[in-house]
């Protein structure tokens, strides 16, 4: 936690606790470090109710854990019909709900940070999925140790992932050594979810080929992060040439073509985000198709990304916001 650069002393931290092994470990660690850093700890749990009584028992287990550790626990029970109301499907909706609630709890207790229990295994899975889905340089960075909370109205707290250097099997071994119990989420065995297929089918093969592959991926992600900083600066210069138009943004085609392709696509990704396209909806295939469309210079040509339109009109590349409904 000290390596994150966040000042904890005499402040409050919110720990996101699902009841699973990783978040149980994180809550114990945050509490054990209270004397060293002088911080207060608050736990937060979101019960989506997807697994019926199992989900409700997760919430009760987190409440008991908080009571044992002397930590206030905030629990949000999500109405079933609220889980899939947002664009992007049920998982994207659930993620938005969780981070929204964590932000509310952080705001309510003036927390300096929200702690999430993502491990080296989660990081490896994220990077592998980004590679498989053709993500940009930003996606290949994976998760960073400190980031802004992914909510519209962010509180003063930052999102901190202090366990990215820990392997999940080491976390579980430590909990067993200290006779600490945790909850198992049966949905983690559902191979209908891409992340679970990577976890159960891909990662063991990579582990057999190269036992240190997690560290290698982490090193590569750090290198990519440095490259992303350089690319972000170049993309920022390119974005400055775009003009705000009704419902979107526009740039002259000749100005678009004046930058290197990787810079053009980075700028386009940012413009798509600005008009409301979801990050996870933007794939490299979309950006490549748009680049080809602009290069061929066919007036009136049009592509869509997550219901946003990218068109070539009168010598301009025009990006308009997603249509509602």
Rounded distance between C-alpha atoms, residue 209 and residue 289, angstroms:
35
Which residues lie below 8 Å from residue 62, measured CB to CB, with a gap of 6+?
17, 18, 19, 43, 45, 73, 75
Domain that residue 202 falls in: 2-214
Report yes or no on 188 lying in a domain: yes
Report yes or no on 47 lying in a domain: yes
CB 238 within 8 A of CB 263: yes
Same domain, 205 and 261: no
Rounded distance between C-alpha atoms, residue 116 and residue 27, angstroms:
10
Tell me the pairing of strands 308-313 and 302-305.
Answer: antiparallel
* pLDDT recorded at residue 198: 92
CATH classification of the domain holding 174: 3.40.50.620
Report yes or no on 228 lying in a domain: no
DSSP structural state of residue 185: -
Same domain, 204 and 149: yes
Q: Where are the alpha helices (DSSP H) in the chain?
A: 21-32, 34-37, 53-69, 89-108, 120-132, 137-140, 168-177, 194-197, 203-209, 213-239, 253-256, 261-274, 284-296
Report yes or no on 325 lying in a domain: no
Report yes or no on 227 lying in a domain: no
DSSP bridge pairs for 104:
none
- Total residues belonging to the chain: 325
What backbone phi and psi angles, to 5 degrees, belong to 140? -75, -10
Same domain, 12 and 158: yes
CB 315 within 8 A of CB 297: no
* pLDDT recorded at residue 222: 80
If one counts the domains in the chain, the total is: 2
Nearest 5°: the CA angle 283, 286, 287 is 95
State the residue for tokens 């709900």.
97
* pLDDT recorded at residue 301: 87
* pLDDT recorded at residue 104: 94
Closest CA to 108 of 42, 33, 60: 42
Same domain, 64 and 122: yes
Report yes or no on 222 lying in a domain: no
DSSP structural state of residue 219: H
DSSP structural state of residue 158: E
Rounded distance between C-alpha atoms, residue 198 and residue 243, angstroms:
41
Rounded distance between C-alpha atoms, residue 2 and residue 37, angstroms:
9
Report yes or no on 207 lying in a domain: yes
Same domain, 167 and 298: no
Same domain, 188 and 44: yes
DSSP structural state of residue 324: P
Same domain, 19 and 118: yes
CB 112 within 8 A of CB 157: yes
Same domain, 47 and 189: yes
* pLDDT recorded at residue 1: 61
Segments of the chain with pLDDT less than 50: 86-87
Closest CA to 106 of 177, 15, 201, 23: 15
* pLDDT recorded at residue 174: 97
Same domain, 210 and 245: no
Of the residues 195, 214, 233, the one at which a domain ends: 214
* pLDDT recorded at residue 135: 65
Residue 129: CB atoms within 10 Å? 17
* pLDDT recorded at residue 137: 67
DSSP string, 190-203: -TTSHHHHIIIIIH
Q: Tokens standing for 201? A: 């089918």
Which residues lie below 8 Å from residue 203, measured CB to CB, with a gap of 6+?
121, 124, 125, 128
Report yes or no on 69 lying in a domain: yes
State the residue for tokens 């999102």.
159
CATH classification of the domain holding 248: 3.30.465.60
Same domain, 157 and 276: no
* Direct distance between the N- and C-terminal alpha carbons of the chain, in angstroms, rounded to an integer: 44
Same domain, 76 and 164: yes
Same domain, 105 and 190: yes
pTM over 0.75, yes/no: yes
Rounded distance between C-alpha atoms, residue 174 and residue 177, angstroms:
5
């Amino acid at each position: 936690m000290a390596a994150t650069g966040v000042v904890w002393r005499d402040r409050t931290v919110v720990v996101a606790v699902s009841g699973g092994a990783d978040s149980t470990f994180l809550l114990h660690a945050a509490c054990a470090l209270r004397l060293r850093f002088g911080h207060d700890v608050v736990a937060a749990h979101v019960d989506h109710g997807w697994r019926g009584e199992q989900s409700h028992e997760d919430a009760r287990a987190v409440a008991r854990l908080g009571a044992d550790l002397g930590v206030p626990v905030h629990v949000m029970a999500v109405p079933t019909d609220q889980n899939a109301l947002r664009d992007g499907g049920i998982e994207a909706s659930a993620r938005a709900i969780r981070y929204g609630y964590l932000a509310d709890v952080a705001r309510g207790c003036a927390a300096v940070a929200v702690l999430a229990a993502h491990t080296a295994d989660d990081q490896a899975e994220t990077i592998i999925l980004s590679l498989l889905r053709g993500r940009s340089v930003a996606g290949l960075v994976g998760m960073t140790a400190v980031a802004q909370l992914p909510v519209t109205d962010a509180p003063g707290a930052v999102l901190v992932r202090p366990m990215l250097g820990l392997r999940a099997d080491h976390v579980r071994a430590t909990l067993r050594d200290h006779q600490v119990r945790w909850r198992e989420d049966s949905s983690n065995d559902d191979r209908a979810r891409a992340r679970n297929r990577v976890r159960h089918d891909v990662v063991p093969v990579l582990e057999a080929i190269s036992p240190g592959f997690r560290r290698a991926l982490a090193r590569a992600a750090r290198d990519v992060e440095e490259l992303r900083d350089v690319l972000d600066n170049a993309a920022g210069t390119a974005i400055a040439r775009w003009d705000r138009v009704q419902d979107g943004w526009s740039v002259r085609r000749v100005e678009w073509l004046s930058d290197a392709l990787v810079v053009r696509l980075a700028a386009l990704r940012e413009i798509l985000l600005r008009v409301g396209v979801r990050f996870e909806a933007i794939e490299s295939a979309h950006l490549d198709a748009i680049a080809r469309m602009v290069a061929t210079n066919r007036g009136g040509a049009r592509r869509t990304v997550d219901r946003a339109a990218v068109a070539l009109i009168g010598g301009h590349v025009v990006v308009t916001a997603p249509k509602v409904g």
